[in-house]
Structure 1
């Protein structure tokens, strides 16, 4: 008569010993920035070590600050095998360069470097220097052939920083998928991939910063909050990374066609796409292109949605929000 009771107790004990799913949060430093990842681990296991292994593997391929990376060897014209990550990033970069008419271009590295925003020291910029660099820059001047990167000019250099960080988010998300995680948010330096819901059962909410040159050391203010449903998000802006020299402000976004920092009304571009690599690259391309050209590209399709913040003729902040993005907005601030 007591066996059922004993069996029930045994089942409870056995069940309680099984690993339980729980939300885990990790953060760390990678690619010169901070990352945050929150995920529902099926067995409660902390997956930070595996995620960092994924991020470091990409660094060994695409980091220009690692002299032994694949991209560094390519830039130094050393014979090296192109790994899968390099090929994936390069091919997508070329596709987006073609779509954006060269506004996005990973061969812009020499120009970014001379202005002091790259992986080499700033130089004294002159019109003659910029003209000479134009011979090195152009996505049509590089290609993959027989598993090697072929350059038209040996001094052409690549910089994938405007696309590889987004790809890193995609890789970490893929790793979490393979670990059985159905709910997660991956953020690396402002680029985000989200899936499922958070610990409260809500879709992940992501803030979009209000552009303000004077808020660098102050509390970050938000312009909007978007609900991220099974998509990736990336933001680019010139209000954080710039310097002033002789009274002139120089922003970090360099136009590959002119060789000079962009100067237009578009202050911040936030892009939603199916993958973060695509969102990352388009966000940069739009910062180069300016408001009118960027809106035209968005309206042409490409399966992306955007939230643009720009300044009108009187210096007031205005926004352009695509219909798909507008449906996901939770709140906007003045």
Structure 2
């Protein structure tokens, strides 16, 4: 029996998720679906800041100060540590306090006094990470929401590769493929239009991953100015005069997502950052002018 493209969907990590697989036997799908969804649920239960029982919540409450963490968590924290330095401190997972002063459901800016108090609790160096343990101070709250979904995409893609399966993993727009599909040289991946429904561009993805960031997912508009949920750790505000959308292709989704997020946080310096990273990218400014290192 020849392989057929089979798919399943589920909801996790705050959004819709889909997996597309080339399989010969349909009954394989049920087993694989359970294994992959179980892995996403495991990571969500472990690293979600919204679940009181999660490992991350325990860390944020100071319950695991100076306790050696498991290898998976150590790997993520070491990755964050490297990205913090590489990004000029723009990539900072300690912005959790800002989520308490910004409300993107109502068109109001935060009180400047509340914002100033929140900024006092931000700073990756306040985590006191030594490569194995944390020691949180200054009521710092770690938020791994900017990398856990991308990490989960990579984990699922790794599981597919270990099984020798051809597939595409899509967790709310963060995508990785195990290899090219059977019938074509590459998967066709659409890039979300930042100002209306539908796609603004399309790219070919034969291997690796693509992830994007933009000002259209969660935002408020006040006096014609858009304020999105991507907040800078130095000002507490979104970066002005930057891109409205960035998509980056890399060998893994974690890297692609990090580079695209930093490009948004860099504001006017976002284009220079993308060029410095030397990864394939597609970006759009506020006038929807395209900046791209690849053909789209």
TM-score by length of 1: 0.80
- Aligned counterparts of 1:83 and 1:55: Cα–Cα separation in 2: 18
Tell me, what secondary structure is at the counterpart of 1:225?
Answer: strand
**Residue 66 of structure 2 is aligned to residue 95 of structure 1:** no
Tell me, what secondary structure is at the counterpart of 2:291?
Answer: strand
Tell me, what secondary structure is at the counterpart of 1:65?
Answer: coil
**Residue 156 of structure 2 is aligned to residue 172 of structure 1:** yes
1:50 to 32, 35, 42: 35
Deviation at 1:122, TM superposition (A): 11
Aligned length in residues: 291
Q: 1:207 to 1:31 in 2, by over 3 A?
A: same
Segment of structure 1 superposing worse, 22-31 or 269-278: 22-31
Deviation at 1:148, TM superposition (A): 2.7
Q: 1:177 to 1:152 in 2, by over 3 A?
A: same
The 5 A counterparts of 1:58-137 are: 58-79=43-64, 82-116=69-103, 125-137=110-122
- Is the CA contact 1:252–1:261 (under 8 Å) kept in the aligned structure 2? yes
- Aligned counterparts of 1:242 and 1:267: Cα–Cα separation in 2: 11
- Aligned counterparts of 1:176 and 1:189: Cα–Cα separation in 2: 19
- Aligned counterparts of 1:169 and 1:177: Cα–Cα separation in 2: 12
**Residue 16 of structure 2 is aligned to residue 34 of structure 1:** yes
Q: Which runs of 5+ in 1 are unaligned?
A: 1-15
**Residue 291 of structure 2 is aligned to residue 320 of structure 1:** yes
1:225 to 202, 205, 209: 202
Deviation at 1:102, TM superposition (A): 1.4
Deviation at 1:70, TM superposition (A): 0.7
Deviation at 1:187, TM superposition (A): 0.5
**Residue 280 of structure 2 is aligned to residue 305 of structure 1:** yes
Deviation at 1:137, TM superposition (A): 0.8
TM-score by length of 2: 0.89
Q: Which residue of 1 aligns with 2:213?
A: 236
Deviation at 1:248, TM superposition (A): 5.6
Tell me, what secondary structure is at the counterpart of 2:35?
Answer: helix
The C-alpha deviation readout for 1:35-71, integer Å capped at 9, x for no partner, is 1111223655111000011111111221112111111
- Is the CA contact 2:97–2:119 (under 8 Å) kept in the aligned structure 1? no
- Aligned counterparts of 1:199 and 1:277: Cα–Cα separation in 2: 26
Q: 1:169 to 1:320 in 2, by over 3 A?
A: same
The C-alpha deviation readout for 1:105-149, integer Å capped at 9, x for no partner, is 10111113320369xx99983222222222211122224348432
> Which of structures 1 and 2 has the bigger CA Rg?
1
Segment of structure 1 superposing worse, 238-247 or 225-234: 238-247
**Residue 232 of structure 2 is aligned to residue 287 of structure 1:** no
Q: 1:51 to 1:156 in 2, by over 3 A?
A: same
Tell me, what secondary structure is at the counterpart of 2:63?
Answer: coil
- Aligned counterparts of 2:190 and 2:87: Cα–Cα separation in 1: 26
Tell me, what secondary structure is at the counterpart of 2:5?
Answer: strand
- Is the CA contact 2:60–2:136 (under 8 Å) kept in the aligned structure 1? no
- Aligned counterparts of 1:234 and 1:112: Cα–Cα separation in 2: 23
Q: Which residue of 1 aligns with 2:137?
A: 152
